[in-house]
Amino acid sequence: MSKAIADWRRFLTGRYAAFRTLAVSDAIAVALNGDSLSIPLITTLGASPALATLIGLFPFVGGILQGLVPTALRRSGGDLRRLTILIGAAALLRPILYIAVVIAIAAGVLPPLAGIGLIAIGFGVGATAQAIAGANVQTWFGRILPERERRFVAPRALAIQFGLGSVLLVPVALLVRVGEQDWGVLIYAPAFVGGLAASLLFLRALRTLPRPGAVSAGRSAKSGPLSAPIRRFLRTNIISALGAGFAPYLSVYAIVVLKQDAAYAILMAAIGSAAALVGAVVIGNWLERGSASRLYRISLIVRGVGMASSALAGPWNPYAPIVLLVVIVIITVGFAAGMLSAQERVLRLAAPGESIRAQSAYGATTAGALAVGQLAGVIVLALLPIAYPTYVGIFIVTGALRLVAAATADVGDDWNTATRIHHGEEMPAEAAFESQR
């Protein structure tokens, strides 16, 4: 424990200022611009559970575009820095549209249905751009950091990104609860302004990172298959992503089935973010030296059991809101563990010359599977009654898919096996990193 504290102190107070700023700004942007606020908002504006789930599908469909990153890199001469900044700038559309929508609805010049449509556009474009930019940042880290430094920095930066939103979502939930009756949807405007500021800070932080140089996307191997370990991992991850996509928004479930308000839905996200932060802090420190494969399998089991347990939060249970909060804690800790370990798994398994293709294939296939799963969820919610029994079936299916994925996952020999590292020819010399500090 003392070593973990010392390592985090070194990351938070040492020479990693650019990485800290990037992680903090991304965490704030995702918390204030993401579905933690936008989905409760469109639900209160009148979006049905099926429509809200359909809108949540947009970023997953857009995420398939990550598969085009290698092509975009080849056409830009390998300029990863410029490409990432341009994609990050597209994410500004999200908070700008959100601010305009809530002001226009409050002023009575925009009907709620049109507002839902504009929020859907901003959410789809902005969330897609933020996700692809975040994936590119992981590749960027691999270019400017020696492997030893990358394993120290990347998991801790991701831990901050997962959990910092809890610091902001709690006061936002209280603000919405206290002010929504008097101010209506305009009460969301300060949060969205904060999200816009964070998005701008994210772009500024990108510009302060050391330049990654010209990044090769593996032109000579672009038509060949990925290595067998990567392909096996992607197959397992596709099954997991199908389950994740099929999972309903628990915030919508809380509003339409348990009859909770938007403030409770936002509070759910805040508690989940806090749990993810605690879990990711511990996991990020351990993952530097431990087995990504075993952690990934455990995360699938935790998420599978957690989602199936949502059936216990039924309207027949007077403690259902508390049960749902416990479920949120379980699945968000599992989600944090899964995301951290999956990112590490891809980077550690990549064969020489395929790290960028492997990263883009991981992002694109994950997004595609999430989209298919969520589309299936939309169809179910559109065709069946919006009632507790329907959600029970969804909870069981999404949990079962995670458990199936866990059964197919390859794992290392023991918990201390840290897979192999990047091949040296793909990584810059440590001296190059030292010279840019």
Q: Kindly report, residue by residue over 34-82, the tens digit of the pLDDT.
A: 888 888 889 888 888 888 888 877 777 777 777 788 888 888 888 889 9
Q: Whole-angstrom Cα distance, residue 21 to residue 29?
A: 12
Residue 336 has what pLDDT? 82
Residue 116 has what pLDDT? 93
- 395 domain residue, yes or no: yes
- 43 domain residue, yes or no: yes
- 219 domain residue, yes or no: no
- 195 domain residue, yes or no: yes
Going by pLDDT thresholds of 50, 70 and 90, the confidence category of residue 422 is: very low
Interval 232-250 mean pLDDT: 92
- 260 domain residue, yes or no: yes
How do residues 272-310 score in pLDDT, each as one tens digit?
877 877 777 777 667 767 788 889 999 999 999 999 999
- 84 domain residue, yes or no: yes
Interval 13-31 mean pLDDT: 84
Residue 301 has what pLDDT? 96
Count of CB atoms within 10 A of residue 384's CB? 14
Contact, 273 vs 162, CB < 8 A? Answer: yes
Domain of residue 115, CATH code: 1.20.1250.20
Domains in the chain, number: 1
Contact, 355 vs 295, CB < 8 A? Answer: no
Going by pLDDT thresholds of 50, 70 and 90, the confidence category of residue 113 is: very high
pLDDT for 103 beyond 80: yes
Going by pLDDT thresholds of 50, 70 and 90, the confidence category of residue 406 is: very high
- 127 domain residue, yes or no: yes
Residue that wins the pLDDT comparison between 20 and 67: 20
Across the chain, mean pLDDT equals 83
Residue 66 has what pLDDT? 77
Output the CA–CA distances (angstroms, integers) from residue 13 to 7, 10, 18, 206, in the order listed: 10, 5, 11, 19
How do residues 312-371 score in pLDDT, each as one tens digit?
999 999 999 999 999 999 998 898 888 888 888 887 888 777 777 888 888 889 988 988
Residue 340 has what pLDDT? 81
Going by pLDDT thresholds of 50, 70 and 90, the confidence category of residue 395 is: very high
197 by Cβ neighbours in 10 Å (0-12 / 13-18 / 19+) ranks as middle
Query: Among 151-155, 230-234, 251-255, 312-316, which is the least confidently predicted range?
Result: 151-155
- pLDDT > 70 fraction of the chain, expressed in percent and rounded: 89
pLDDT for 420 beyond 60: no
- 4 domain residue, yes or no: no
Domain, as residue range, for 46: 9-211+226-425
pLDDT for 429 beyond 70: no
Going by pLDDT thresholds of 50, 70 and 90, the confidence category of residue 132 is: confident
How do residues 158-216 score in pLDDT, each as one tens digit?
777 766 766 777 788 778 878 777 788 888 999 899 999 999 999 999 998 888 877 76
